[in-house]
Chain A
Amino acid sequence: MNAEQILFILFGAVSLIGAIAVISFRHPIYSALSLIVTFFAQAGLFVLLGAHFVAAVQVIVYAGAIMVLFLFVIMLLNLGTLSAKGAIGTKLKGFAIILGILLAAEGIYIAVNALNDTAVASAEPAAITTTTYDIGELLFSKYLLPFEVTSLILLAALIGVIVLVKRDSEVEN
């Protein structure tokens, strides 16, 4: 077992534990903090894959900016501890557990089969582009259309938010 494998197991385990902690805590702040742990562990996994830029973005954007917003919202709304009886009833809970186990079993089955699959193993890894220079060039050449469409999606999101939260001026008067 080399260092890379040990690190993979470490990051993978931390990310899973963090994810389970997110849904186990009753207090939303603890859940949000657990989510940060998961994000950091995932950034570590990205580094192991050679995707340094994605790892940095993961830390800066997700663990940084988005989580701060989450925490602000939780603290401003003063959510407190969620009651033990959540939105899910006991009947649905059993159903959800069965479906969850089925889904997990399928996932494991696929993962084990995929490991033995020669086609996947022999597939060439994508050209590694880790510097911001390479990524910038790709965004404005090969991925120009997705890049431009993303800007339209942001426009739609921006307008949508304004429509939904803007106070009607008639109401104020």
Chain B
Amino acid sequence: MPIEINWQLLMPELIITLTLLIVLVFDLFDSISKAILGWMTIVGAGIALWVSIQMHQAGTVGTQFNDMFKVDNFSLFFNIIFLVSTILVALISMSYLSRDDRKQGPYYLLILLATLGMMLMAAGNELIIVFLGLELMSLSLYVLAGYFRDNPASSEAGMKYLLLGAFASAFFLYGIALIYGGAGTTNVPAIAEAITAPNKSPLLLAGMFLLIVGFGFKVAIVPFHQWAPDVYEGAPTTIAAFISAGPKAAGFAAFLRIFMEALPSLQVEWSSVVIVLAMLTMTVGNVIAIAQTSIKRMLAYSSIAHAGYVLIGLAAANNDGISSAMLYLLVYCVMNIGAFGAVILAKTEDGESLMISDYAGLGLRKPLLAMFMTIMLLSLAGFPPTAGFVGKFYVFKSAVQAGHIWLVIVGAINTAISAFYYLRVVVTMYMREPEEELSFTAYPSTLVVGLVLAAIGVLLIGILPSLMLTPAQNSVF
């Protein structure tokens, strides 16, 4: 029985697969400079990004492999988020890795494999595909988190991430099994059809809650967030940027698709849970971030808080909610990678400067670095005219339209709390004198290019929000 495959629909995924195979083969030749593998990754992801944008503009829709793989504007928009993150992370990684030249091949290969896993999660129209994409992404990330084997903190981060991630995957899989038991299928549209009946099977409800727990672990929602600060702090800084961006967006992509498309008839049950989780996540993330002295840990708690803002969009559960959550994820990925990139830029001869107090006096001594850091932190805090403001504005607006006034009030209070710790870094950079003179290394050009791109993106979306808002609004399923 031959299968008809429309290869055009699979183009972005195929390009990434091809790129990773090329990287795998070229890594074998010792005569080639390993730095070229990073450029291959960027070119491959760039072509896939261009194809995804073309397909998004053409409004391509279609399913493949017995309705398992669905290409629509929703999955294509998320492809754009993942590929932008991958390109930015590859750019900031090039100078970060050059000390350890031999191990670059597997690094880029694993990043590409993780990207492919994310794309499968966004396009998965079948719980099995979503799970396999999740595993492909997670397995690559466990290894990347523990990539610096000689560094105990990195090994610990990899180990912790592996154990808790495997635990979360088990919850997720158990949830899928129970939903299969209740609905008799694992296909997303078929589940929605199967549970239109008024009596809600307890199996479905239990499966749904287990899915929330599984996703909660993967995207670091309170109370499933404990792994995040340790992993972000121990993992290589570039990988912390990667983990906090793409995989979080991928988790939310599957979260949105499964809950909005497969379980709309259980919305009464899940939306109240999501509202509580959103409030908890924002508040706990922001309040704990205040107490941090390490900038990586602070950014980890801030990324937990940002997952809470995205949940507001899901809690709104209308078209505006979905499109604003998608816009927020895009904005968040760019600005968060930018913030981690600025941390990498602040490298001294003793290693990275990870304490917030190390940043004292940088405003005058290192104006370029201080400028990048300030733009990213202002955007994370949500000040106009940056993209962070646009993202928060539309998320809050969608929640007001859905009638969740209290949720928006909690969100607004949290924005005020978060401004305190973001601005504290800015104040430290411009207004405080350094306690000791740190000798910073020269700026690597690829890293500066990556940061310039991120800064342009943040300011452009901030000034012309319709540039990305209109595509996001066209991407709702």
Interface residues in chain A, defined as those with a beta carbon under 8 Å from any beta carbon in chain B: 106, 109-110, 113-114, 117-120, 123-124, 137, 141-146, 149-150, 152-153, 155-157, 159-160, 162-164, 168-170
Contacts and interface: CB of A to CB of B under 8 A. Distances in A.
Interface in B179-214: 181-182, 184, 197, 199, 201-203, 205-206
B182 A119 contact: yes
B106 A163 contact: yes
B132 A146 contact: yes
Contacts of A160: 110, 139-140, 142-143
Contacts of B136: 149, 152-153, 156
8 A-B pairs closest in CB distance = A160-B143, A145-B65, A113-B202, A123-B184, A149-B132, A110-B202, A156-B113, A163-B106
A164 B151 CA distance: 12
Nearest to A145: B65
Nearest to A114: B203
Interface in B69-127: 69, 102-103, 106, 109-110, 113, 116, 120
Contacts of A170: 102
Question: What DSSP secondary structure best describes chain B's contact surface?
Answer: helix
Nearest to B106: A163
Given A156-B139, A159-B143, A163-B147, A120 B3 contact: no
Contact of A146 (B68, B106, B197): B68
Nearest to A161: B143
Contacts of B205: 110
B17 to A, nearest CB: 8
Given A146-B129, A164-B146, A153 B139 contact: yes
A37 to B, nearest CB: 21
Contacts of A146: 68, 128-129, 132
Nearest to A109: B202
Given A160-B140, A162-B106, A117 B203 contact: yes
Nearest to B10: A145
B132 A114 contact: no
Contact of A164 (B68, B113, B143): B143
Contact of A150 (B132, B149, B206): B132
B442 interface: no
Contacts of B102: 168-170
Contacts of B69: 145
Interface of B: 1, 3, 17, 24, 64-66, 68-69, 102-103, 106, 109-110, 113, 116, 120, 128-129, 132-133, 135-136, 139-140, 142-143, 146-147, 149, 158, 181-182, 184, 197, 199, 201-203, 205-206
17 contacts: A110-B203, A113-B202, A114-B202, A119-B197, A144-B3, A144-B65, A149-B120, A153-B139, A155-B113, A156-B110, A156-B139, A160-B140, A163-B106, A163-B143, A164-B149, A164-B158, A170-B102
A117 B205 CA distance: 13
A119 B199 contact: yes
Contacts of B3: 141, 144
A157 to B, nearest CB: 6
Contact of B206 (A106, A156, A163, A164): A106
A153 B128 CA distance: 13
B3 to A, nearest CB: 6
A145 B65 CA distance: 7
Contacts of B181: 114, 120
A120 B201 contact: yes
Given A124-B184, A146-B68, A117 B143 contact: no
Contact of A110 (B129, B199, B206): B206
A168 B149 CA distance: 10
Contacts of A152: 17, 113, 116, 136
A170 B146 CA distance: 19
B142 to A, nearest CB: 7
Contact of A157 (B106, B139, B201): B139
Contacts of B201: 114, 117, 119-120
Contacts of A155: 113
Chain B CB within 10 A, most for which of A118, A124, A145, A164: A145
A141 B149 CA distance: 41
B400 to A, nearest CB: 35
B48 to A, nearest CB: 16
Contacts of B133: 149
B348 to A, nearest CB: 24
A20 B147 CA distance: 36
B363 to A, nearest CB: 39
A156 B199 contact: no
Nearest to A126: B184
A30 to B, nearest CB: 23
A163 B203 contact: no
Nearest to B66: A142
A141 B24 CA distance: 28
B202 A156 contact: no
Contacts of B109: 159
A124 to B, nearest CB: 7
A141 B128 CA distance: 15
Chain A CB within 10 A, most for which of B68, B103, B199: B68
Chain A CB within 10 A, most for which of B102, B147, B184, B202: B202
